[in-house]
Structure 1
Amino acid sequence: MEFIIVTFILLVLELLYFRIADKFNIIDKPNHRSSHTKVTLRGGGIIFPIAFLLYFASSILYRKDTFLPKEYWAFGLGLLILSVISFLDDILDLSTKLRLFFHFISVSLLIYFLGILFILPIWLLPIVFIFIIGVLNAYNFMDGINGITGLYSFVILSTLYYINQYKIIFTDVNFIIYPVLASLVFLFFNFRKKAKCFAGDVGSMSIAFWVLALLGLLVVKTQELTYLLFIGVYGIEVIFTIIQRIKLKENIFEAHRHHLYQLLVNKMKWSHLLVSTMYGVIQLLINFSIIYWKLNFVEGILYLIFPTLTMYVLAKFYIFKTTETY
């Protein structure tokens, strides 16, 4: 009953946000770098931080204890800071330096939440910071077509739910279910040929932050880096697109249309929903293989990530040859 009520509340609040966004003209206008052609409401992903507030409220009202570290307040504070600055960036277009400053604060809180701030060697902390900020921005880069952010997140969260329920308990199950419900509500409005809304920076950043928190808890609990491959498809896409753009001597911080999903939609004329589903299914197959075959990190790279990378490179090469564009 609790989850039905939460889903209903998220649905109502999302519809309320649509009215606010429409009134204050919080929209995404298509340009020559976009993969859409119609003006669409931006910031629909605001329900992800709202989902955490609902989770926090339910934890206080109905659950006296939790599997989360006592520092879970740090996660909430980090998420809210990241969400606020991302929402402001959606409507005001903030400077990169200002955004990175608040990203640094949020990531610091996330690391504290995971309980690794005083455990990891000093030399390793900068690498962790760069990795987390990189994943947050990768999620944002990949939020370019209908359905991809919501569906990809749903796949990862569902995998983590399965592990928590049937393999090893690493967190409060509701800490996974609440973002799942938010993803489903968001998908209801976004997984359409003509999306009602886009996630915006507030959506892509906040759900990425939540996914990273859950992956971090699982890695800390199991001491296995293999689970980081649950975001392997995005990793392949973003890393090798950056390499490509550096090779082309482009500014990697400027908008572009070099991602494979953009080429499939804009050049090959595949539907947004088909491409989003393809990304989700490939990541699901990788996740299932890791769990079923009990692969370690190196095995996961060799048997799953490398073949996926090969297909990715071949697909881009084919599109390049077919459309003569990059």
Structure 2
Amino acid sequence: MSSFWLVPVVFASSFILTGLLRCYALSRSLIDIPNDRSSHTIPTPRGGGVAIVVSFLTAICLLYVTGLISADLFLAGAGAGAFVAVLGFMDDHGHIAARWRLLGHFAAAVWALYWLGGFPPVHAFGQVFDLGWIGSILAAFYLVWLLNLYNFMDGIDGIAGVEAVTVGLGACVLYWLDGNGLLLWPCLLLAASAGGFLVWNFPFARIFMGDAGSGFLGLILGVLALQAGWASFELFWGWLILLGIFIVDASFTLLRRLLRGEKVYEAHRSHAYQFASRRYGKHWPVTITVGLINLLWLLPIAICVIRARLDGVTGLLLAYLPLVFLALKFQAGRAESL
């Protein structure tokens, strides 16, 4: 318990670093200029997510040195996360072809899975299924998709930061209820790192996260979810439930765009959350709603999976069905009329 001092320190370091990065971005003219694919109207500095990366990686180094996380988790998270962050940072400063970014993402996923031990045996409907190498392949695609969808969903003020904070804190609750209190430290410090940045990014953005931060967050959340699955697969179901808004919106949008034959790697603004923000004329109501859904709908269902013996697949379907309805309501993936 004495390590709780790390939480305010990590929050403060992320906050201070974000401010410094904003000054750096302004001095180097690293500005995101709005265009017809943007959800913003004001030129804004970018690259603030590097503060999340530096704060969290420093924090898990301390966790490893103090014995609060295993060497395998440290190597998986720090190695893959740092690589993805550097790749995103380079892309923020100068375009990297999509095929090379994707290759780098899979390389990071393979690295992480090597140290995590692959995909844990699946627990569903009272049965245990060991998927072996097929599970590892699925896990690699899961990490790469989570990494990229987090980048796709980072399109309005505060949404990526609020997601990281609420999902991270929700996971801490699940770990505590499941009797795996030691596992909560990386989640708690990830939430603190995202929280320090969020002060600068919400309710209106004075700096954007950038690919370095969003890709890093997506990968680290995926790594923590897989690590939890080895401790208790119900925890993995819980993670999938907590991440439901981002998974459903991004996946639904991607599917509709693929069916229309669009180039899915090109910028667009056809996610449900983007249509919602344009409908209401503001970003903050959508971002706050995302946080409330995470805490008041998805977290209670995840708790039922952990404590009330609700089957993970059943809990996932129960959690996702209203999210699919929202995706339909706000026409996620609909062709844009510019």
Same fold (TM over 0.5): yes
Kindly provide the amino acid, as one letter, of the partner of residue 141 in structure 1.
F
Identity of aligned residues (%): 26
What TM-score, normalized to structure 1? 0.89
Distance change >3 Å, CA 290–CA 73, structure 1 → 2: closer
Structure 2, unmatched stretches of 5+, are: 121-129
Distance change >3 Å, CA 120–CA 282, structure 1 → 2: same
| Segment drifting more, 148-157 vs 177-186 | 177-186
Deviation of 1:117 (Å): 6.8
In structure 1, what is the equivalent of residue 325 of structure 2?
Answer: 310
Distance change >3 Å, CA 272–CA 169, structure 1 → 2: same
| Aligned pairs for 1:52-67 within 5 A | 52-59=56-63, 63=66, 65-67=67-69
Structure 1 residue 77 corresponds to structure 2 residue 88 = no
In structure 2, what is the equivalent of residue 148 of structure 1?
Answer: 159
Aligned to 1:245, which of 239, 244, 257? 257
Structure 1, unmatched stretches of 5+, are: none
In structure 1, what is the equivalent of residue 150 of structure 2?
Answer: 139
| Aligned pairs for 1:97-246 within 5 A | 97-116=99-118, 121-169=132-180, 171-193=182-204, 195-224=205-234, 225-227=236-238, 228-246=240-258
Kindly provide the amino acid, as one letter, of the partner of residue 76 in structure 1.
A
Kindly provide the amino acid, as one letter, of the partner of residue 226 in structure 1.
W
Q: Is the 8 A contact 2:18 2:200 kept in 1?
A: no
Distance change >3 Å, CA 14–CA 314, structure 1 → 2: closer
Deviation of 1:247 (Å): 3.3
Structure 1 residue 34 corresponds to structure 2 residue 38 = yes
Deviation of 1:87 (Å): 0.7
Kindly provide the amino acid, as one letter, of the partner of residue 94 in structure 1.
I
In structure 2, what is the equivalent of residue 24 of structure 1?
Answer: 28
Residues 268-302 of structure 1: per-residue CA shift (max 9 Å, x gap): 13310111111222232112222135432221233
Paired with 2:69 and 2:60, the residues of 1 have a C-alpha distance of: 13
| Aligned pairs for 1:293-308 within 5 A | 293-308=308-323
Paired with 2:50 and 2:221, the residues of 1 have a C-alpha distance of: 15
Q: Is the 8 A contact 1:170 1:218 kept in 2?
A: no
Runs (4+) of structure 1 exceeding 3 A deviation are 117-120, 170-173
Q: Is the 8 A contact 2:61 2:74 kept in 1?
A: no
What TM-score, normalized to structure 2? 0.86
Q: Is the 8 A contact 2:73 2:227 kept in 1?
A: no
| Segment drifting more, 197-206 vs 252-261 | 252-261
> What is the SS of the residue equivalent to 2:264?
coil
> What is the SS of the residue equivalent to 1:316?
coil
Residues 119-167 of structure 1: per-residue CA shift (max 9 Å, x gap): 8522332222112111111111000000100001111100111122232
Paired with 2:113 and 2:53, the residues of 1 have a C-alpha distance of: 18
Q: Is the 8 A contact 2:119 2:135 kept in 1?
A: no
Distance change >3 Å, CA 315–CA 59, structure 1 → 2: closer
Distance change >3 Å, CA 70–CA 170, structure 1 → 2: farther
Aligned to 2:19, which of 15, 19, 40? 15
Paired with 1:88 and 1:313, the residues of 2 have a C-alpha distance of: 36
Paired with 1:236 and 1:71, the residues of 2 have a C-alpha distance of: 27
> What is the SS of the residue equivalent to 1:254?
coil
Kindly provide the amino acid, as one letter, of the partner of residue 240 in structure 1.
F
Aligned to 2:50, which of 30, 35, 46? 46
Paired with 2:252 and 2:8, the residues of 1 have a C-alpha distance of: 41
Residues 1-50 of structure 1: per-residue CA shift (max 9 Å, x gap): 44333333222222221221111122211110000011111111112221
Q: Is the 8 A contact 1:87 1:202 kept in 2?
A: yes
Residues 199-228 of structure 1: per-residue CA shift (max 9 Å, x gap): 110111111122112111111211234222
State the superposition RMSD in angstroms. Answer: 2.5
Q: Is the 8 A contact 2:119 2:139 kept in 1?
A: no
Residues 160-197 of structure 1: per-residue CA shift (max 9 Å, x gap): 1112223231644331222111111111000123x111
Distance change >3 Å, CA 101–CA 312, structure 1 → 2: closer
Paired with 2:251 and 2:162, the residues of 1 have a C-alpha distance of: 21
Deviation of 1:240 (Å): 1.3
